[in-house]
Chains A and B, each alone.
Chain A
Amino acid sequence: MRLEEIPVIGPLLAAGADDRVFDALLVLGPVIIIAIALLGRNLASIILAASYTAGFSVYIGYKGIRRTPERKT
């Protein structure tokens, strides 16, 4: 199944940076927010939110580092 063929969000995902991790973060974002809104503030929800924000930031850095050697070759 191609990305564009996913119902509702398919065209949006296909318009992104062709990256499965970012696409996953995009899909998981509202799910995590709704889960936290329902669960309230506790250790599990804090870990969930921290994982998302840290994962997003670290992955951008990782992509940057991985891309730099590619450019040198």
Chain B
Amino acid sequence: MANRIGTIARDLGRMLEALAGLILISVLVPLVWREWWVVPGMIVSGMLPLLVGFGLSRGFQNADDPGRLHGMMIAASGWFFVAVFGSIPFLLIAWTARFDPAILDIPTRFTISGTRTFSTLAAFQNPLNGFFESMSGFTGTGLTMTDNEAALPHTLQWWRSFIEWVGGVGVIVLTTAILARPGSGSLTLYESEARSEKIHPSIVSTVRTIWWIFLLFTFFSILLLWLADMPMWDAINHAMTGLATGGFSITDNSIGTYNSVAIDFALIPVMILGSIAFPIHYLILQGDLRNFYKDLQTRWVFIFFAIGTLVLTVILFDQGFYQTETIAVAGIVLQGQAATLFQTFRYALFQFVSAASCTGFQTAGSLGPGWTAPAQLTVAFGMVVGAAAGSTVGGIKLIRLLTLGKGILFRIRGIFYPSSAVRTFRLDGRALSDQEAAQEFEEAAIITFLWLVFLGLAAFVFMLALPMGAGPDAFTVENVLFEVASAQGNVGLSSGITGPGMPTVTKVMFLFNMWIGRLEIIPVLVLLRGVFASLEVYE
């Protein structure tokens, strides 16, 4: 047991050292934007994880090398403590503004109460709000405790985007290299003997290759958004959070702020890039374009996005929600029904891709109370399913749904065969042995079941804690299901529930949902079992 704790503590220490590096390198941002008053807070925020991390990594440097069990516990505890220490910049910057030392010359908009700018930053004086924001960022969720993102200091805008971006790389490494196991999608599809799609054999080189792809895509996305007329600072932040399918924005109304057809459509490929498994990106960058249609998950990402968009377009068009008289698109003026259909398609496409890619960017401002229940539940279904395993998305993942669907058909068809018949289960063209197939079904079924159990548990807590039913401040069941699916799927779309004023119990519940959603539940349960066992609460 002591050895196990030593191994976990050492690797946790290394993670905290890396986090300290991220915070300290972010000091460049206030220097560029001349936000001198946040520099002390950022430096102290960086020193704390550096000292703790240094102590842990040096104190346990001779601990055993990690095994699979350690890998799960390190991932689960790492995400938790990185989110804890990653919340310190929010806390210290908010309290710096609160104390308002004259020497720092803090702009009055952050120090005089009664404005939205003040209340936005002041919300982070509550450590729980900072922890929520940090966990939302590192898990790529995008639900926020800010009232007006545009009012935040540039340094905090950057920190929110940066932690989502780094968290995006973290989850790709996690699913393709560290936690790849039968049923996770990554193992079966990307570690088969026929296709050496697992990027590289060792974790270190895998991480480097993922960074190589991720940086290349980030630069491409930034310039694409800038070409669509987004300001450069906005393009940098939204490219990072879009590619990481995190969804934090630096504007008050997310992407809806721009009300730009070009920006909406420029973000679609960015979100799709984040939805495709990175081993497949690697093959495509090597020139093997057939993976766009030959790879099971990639093919289904496009099919799923297309079907979801179509269904949502039909529902919203039928509701007549986006009645438009005229709209000009690329020099062509659309009128009447054509204009309405285009606007409906535009919002449906963006919101479904944003939901199923688990990004959480929002263009439809009235997505919560304005859309009908079928429209909300269509988007919620996209959030629950997600896209490809091995990418930055959350949710159950398409591969698990496909495995379960094909598995159910396989079992039903089996009844019509004689018991002596030899049948082979195939997944993405690969023949699986009975044992492999059973492992795939079992893992996919367990994850899906647990996903739905925790979804139901959170919905129950929310329905107890929030005003439900009719009334201006009340929420409906579909609002709650939408919000919980969004948190656990690491999506970030909101029906209006999440905010600094939500009850504490719901914030804590969402922290747990975001955490388990990112780690696909099992590693968190393994960690909790280990903690309870060591405390002799559980044997």
Q: A15-B205, A52-B223, A64-B288 are in contact. Are A29 and B215 (CB under 8 A)?
A: yes
The docked-state distance in angstroms from the alpha carbon of A61 to that of B219 is 18
The docked-state distance in angstroms from the alpha carbon of A13 to that of B289 is 22
- Tell me the smallest distance from the CB of B213 to a CB of chain A, in Å: 8
Counting CB contacts under 8 A, is A6 at the interface?
no
- Tell me the smallest distance from the CB of A57 to a CB of chain B, in Å: 8
User: Residue on A with the closest CB to B32?
Assistant: A37
Counting CB contacts under 8 A, is B236 at the interface?
yes
Q: Report yes or no: A12 in contact with B212, Cβ–Cβ below 8 A.
A: yes
Q: Report yes or no: B227 in contact with A36, Cβ–Cβ below 8 A.
A: no
Counting CB contacts under 8 A, is B102 at the interface?
no
Greatest chain B CB density within 10 A among A12, A15, A26 is at A15
Counting CB contacts under 8 A, is B286 at the interface?
yes
Q: Which residues of B contact A60 (CB under 8 A)?
A: 284-285, 287, 289
Q: Report yes or no: B236 in contact with A17, Cβ–Cβ below 8 A.
A: no
User: Residue on A with the closest CB to B269?
Assistant: A57
- Tell me the smallest distance from the CB of A10 to a CB of chain B, in Å: 11
Among B211, B222, B226, contact of A12 (Cβ-Cβ < 8 Å): B211
Q: Which residues of A contact B226 (CB under 8 A)?
A: 36, 49
- Tell me the smallest distance from the CB of A71 to a CB of chain B, in Å: 9
Q: Which residues of B contact A68 (CB under 8 A)?
A: 289
The docked-state distance in angstroms from the alpha carbon of A17 to that of B216 is 11
Render A55-73 as a binary contact track against B, CB cut-off 8 A, 1 for contact. Answer: 0100011011011100000
Chain B, interface SS category: helix
- Tell me the smallest distance from the CB of B359 to a CB of chain A, in Å: 20
Chain A, interface SS category: helix
Q: A60-B285, A63-B286 are in contact. Are A33 and B209 (CB under 8 A)?
A: no
- Tell me the smallest distance from the CB of A65 to a CB of chain B, in Å: 8
Q: A26-B216, A60-B285, A66-B287 are in contact. Are A33 and B222 (CB under 8 A)?
A: yes
Q: Which residues of A contact B282 (CB under 8 A)?
A: 17
Q: Which residues of B contact A52 (CB under 8 A)?
A: 219-220, 223
In B410-448, which residues have CB < 8 Å from any A CB?
A: none
Q: Report yes or no: A22 in contact with B219, Cβ–Cβ below 8 A.
A: no
User: Residue on B with the closest CB to A46?
Assistant: B227
Q: Report yes or no: B223 in contact with A32, Cβ–Cβ below 8 A.
A: yes
Counting CB contacts under 8 A, is B334 at the interface?
no
In B192-248, which residues have CB < 8 Å from any A CB?
A: 200, 205, 208-209, 211-213, 215-216, 218-220, 222-224, 226-227, 232, 236
The docked-state distance in angstroms from the alpha carbon of A29 to that of B208 is 18
Q: Report yes or no: A17 in contact with B286, Cβ–Cβ below 8 A.
A: yes
The contact size tier of chain B is 20 to 34
User: Residue on B with the closest CB to A23?
Assistant: B212
Q: Report yes or no: B224 in contact with A53, Cβ–Cβ below 8 A.
A: yes
Q: Report yes or no: B219 in contact with A25, Cβ–Cβ below 8 A.
A: yes
Q: Which residues of B contact A63 (CB under 8 A)?
A: 285-287, 289
Q: Report yes or no: B216 in contact with A22, Cβ–Cβ below 8 A.
A: yes
Counting CB contacts under 8 A, is A5 at the interface?
no
The docked-state distance in angstroms from the alpha carbon of A19 to that of B287 is 11
Q: Which residues of B contact A15 (CB under 8 A)?
A: 200, 205, 208-209, 211-212
- Tell me the smallest distance from the CB of B126 to a CB of chain A, in Å: 34
Render A27-45 as a binary contact track against B, CB cut-off 8 A, 1 for contact. Answer: 0011011001100000000
Q: Report yes or no: A26 in contact with B223, Cβ–Cβ below 8 A.
A: no
User: Residue on B with the closest CB to A28?
Assistant: B219
- Tell me the smallest distance from the CB of B203 to a CB of chain A, in Å: 12
Q: Which residues of A contact B220 (CB under 8 A)?
A: 25, 29, 52-53, 56
Q: Report yes or no: A29 in contact with B289, Cβ–Cβ below 8 A.
A: no
Among B208, B219, B227, contact of A11 (Cβ-Cβ < 8 Å): B208
Q: Which residues of A contact B224 (CB under 8 A)?
A: 53
Q: Report yes or no: B232 in contact with A17, Cβ–Cβ below 8 A.
A: no
User: Residue on A with the closest CB to B223?
Assistant: A49
User: Residue on A with the closest CB to B289?
Assistant: A64
Q: Which residues of A contact B211 (CB under 8 A)?
A: 12, 15
Q: Report yes or no: B287 in contact with A33, Cβ–Cβ below 8 A.
A: no
Q: Report yes or no: B209 in contact with A16, Cβ–Cβ below 8 A.
A: yes
- Tell me the smallest distance from the CB of B251 to a CB of chain A, in Å: 18
Render B280-311 as a binary contact track against A, CB cut-off 8 A, 1 for contact. Answer: 00101111110000000000000000000000
- Tell me the smallest distance from the CB of B229 to a CB of chain A, in Å: 8
- Tell me the smallest distance from the CB of A18 to a CB of chain B, in Å: 8
Q: Which residues of A contact B200 (CB under 8 A)?
A: 15
- Tell me the smallest distance from the CB of A20 to a CB of chain B, in Å: 13
Q: Which residues of A contact B227 (CB under 8 A)?
A: 46, 49-50, 53
| Known pairs A12-B212, A52-B219, A64-B289 / 14 extra A-B pairs, C-beta < 8 Å | A15-B200, A15-B209, A17-B212, A17-B282, A19-B286, A32-B219, A33-B232, A36-B223, A36-B232, A49-B223, A49-B226, A53-B223, A60-B287, A63-B286
Interface residues of A (CB under 8 A from B): 11-17, 19, 22, 25-26, 29-30, 32-33, 36-37, 46, 49-50, 52-53, 56, 60-61, 63-64, 66-68
Can you identify 15 A-B contacts, CB atoms within 8 angstroms? A11-B208, A15-B200, A15-B209, A15-B212, A16-B209, A17-B286, A22-B285, A29-B216, A32-B223, A36-B223, A36-B226, A46-B227, A50-B227, A52-B223, A64-B284
Top 4 nearest A-B pairs (CB, nearest first) are: A29-B219, A15-B208, A64-B289, A63-B287
Interface residues of B (CB under 8 A from A): 200, 205, 208-209, 211-213, 215-216, 218-220, 222-224, 226-227, 232, 236, 282, 284-289
